[in-house]
Amino acid sequence: MNIDTKALAEKYGTPLYIYDFDYIENRYNTLKEAFAGKKSMINYAVKANSNLSVIAHLAKLGAGADCVSIGEVKRALDAGVDRYKIIFSGVGKRDDEIREALEKDILLLNLESEAEMKRVEMVAKELGKEARISIRVNPNIDPQTHPYISTGLHENKFGVEIDMAKRMYIYANRSEFLNPVGIHFHIGSQLTKLDPIREACQIVGDLVRSLRAIKIDIKFFDVGGGLGVVYDDEITISEKAYTQAIFEATKGLDLTLLCEPGRYMVANAGAFFTKVLYEKVNDGKRFVIVDGAMNDLLRPSLYDAYHKIEAVMVDGNVERTPADVVGPVCESGDFFGKNVPLPPLSHNDLLVVHSAGAYGFTMASNYNTRAKPAEVALQGGVDRLIRKRESYEDQVRLEREYL
């Protein structure tokens, strides 16, 4: 970001998330262009960054939404996403969530088990509606990513096997209250290899062909999300190669192609800013203690994820020595980076933790009664607040009346 982040950190305080909306727009347009010539829809995975202004920004560009709870569905609707562009996925939907989704008449409910299909059928019957559904197929493919974010193997809890999917489609096709119009898979997140995606597309493409042969007319082919991004020095999948693999697997089929990118859209649009509180050395080991913590940005603690960390506006020639960047939360796992090369720092110096736009704020918590940080958008060189910093009162609001 080519802006005076120090001034923004002064203006809005720290810890702080800043998102570059122009970058998001560019990402959306690049991916959309790679689908040129085909019917397609980009359903932004709201879980990556569910700030209403972020969703609204993408909605204005034409994006739909992939949601994993009725809360996310409501966010998408609130932010102006067209209801016919909203998909509701997830392994465990409650009856009330199913009901509300059907009442709101969104595009699709993605089903992940036979038992869930029966619940959806029952709720649709109660409402006298026909539920548009898709089935999440688990193609049993190793996505070659971190095991915590790998979802396309039979050992993972997601989706159903091909044979089960077929049986479910046949059942749904006969049901008065179910309309099986889509097929879905999502093999994992932060994917940097195309082959597993290509293979999954082919397996699921063949399944569509066999369903068509028995007159089950699938209209939406949803390849999930997962496109990886650069955190460090990863080589990622090009948009064109990605769509080409999808086109090849669906050759000859009249389908609307859907994808659900989250991280791809927002990870590198965002950065997390935190101020140095203190430095200390324990037995020769250098620690930089900052005002942000694992409750604000959990990825390093939870996945040992790498996020590049730099001191803002420090002369490039200053000597850097390794330091662990840690927060004030009372957990040894509360760190943003280990052995990060950093210049000598003093109280109130600003650090930036890069690539924090996805799964940053959305995974934040109030652990240690810490307030969630503020969020700021940058668009056309103009900054604006898109979420106020939480106050202590915000945190105790639901408890106070019981005191």
Contact 266, 227 (CB under 8 A): no
Closer by beta carbon to ligand LLP, 152 or else 345? 152
Question: Could you tell me the smallest distance in angstroms from the CB atom of residue 86 to ligand LLP?
Answer: 13
> Is it true that the peptide bond before 15 is cis, omega within 30 degrees of 0?
yes
Compose the 170-199 pattern: x for residues touching ligand LLP by CB under 6 A, - for all others: ----------------x--xx---------
Question: Could you tell me the smallest distance in angstroms from the CB atom of residue 271 to ligand LLP?
Answer: 15
- 387: its two tokens: 């979420």
**Could you say whether residue 373 binds ligand LLP (CB under 6 A)?**
no
- 393: its two tokens: 């009162």
- Residue list 29-58, contact with ligand LLP (CB under 6 A): 45, 48
Part of the chain binding ligand LLP (CB under 6 A), chosen from 3-11, 164-172, 219-227, 342-350: 219-227
Closer by beta carbon to ligand LLP, 12 or else 44? 44
Measured on CA atoms in the order 143, 148, 152, 154, is the torsion positive or negative? positive
**Could you say whether residue 63 binds ligand LLP (CB under 6 A)?**
no
Q: Which residue has the tokens 């190669």?
A: 241
**Could you say whether residue 370 binds ligand LLP (CB under 6 A)?**
no
Closer by beta carbon to ligand LLP, 323 or else 373? 373
Q: Binding residue for ligand LLP (CB under 6 A) from 64, 182, 196, 224? A: 224
| Cα distance between residue 134 and residue 110, in whole Å | 5
**Could you say whether residue 20 binds ligand LLP (CB under 6 A)?**
no
| Paired residues of 131 in beta bridges | 178
Radius of gyration in angstroms for the set of CA atoms belonging to the chain, rounded to a whole number? 23
**Could you say whether residue 143 binds ligand LLP (CB under 6 A)?**
no
The verdict on whether 67 is a catalytic residue reads no
- Residue list 334-363, contact with ligand LLP (CB under 6 A): 358-359
Give the total residue count for the chain.
403
Question: Within 13 Å and on the Cβ side, how many CA atoms surround 306?
Answer: 11
Closer by beta carbon to ligand LLP, 169 or else 359? 359
Part of the chain binding ligand LLP (CB under 6 A), chosen from 71-79, 161-169, 218-226, 307-315: 218-226
| Cα distance between residue 171 and residue 164, in whole Å | 11
Compose the 255-284 pattern: x for residues touching ligand LLP by CB under 6 A, - for all others: -----xxxxx--------------------
- 193: its two tokens: 């290899």
CB atoms within 10 A of CB 276: 20
**Could you say whether residue 85 binds ligand LLP (CB under 6 A)?**
no
Contact 141, 151 (CB under 8 A): no
**Could you say whether residue 226 binds ligand LLP (CB under 6 A)?**
yes
Contact 46, 66 (CB under 8 A): yes
- 343: its two tokens: 């210049």
| Paired residues of 271 in beta bridges | 18
- Known catalytic residues are 330
- Footprint of ligand LLP (CB under 6 A): 45, 48, 66, 89, 149, 186, 189-190, 224-227, 260-264, 299, 358-359
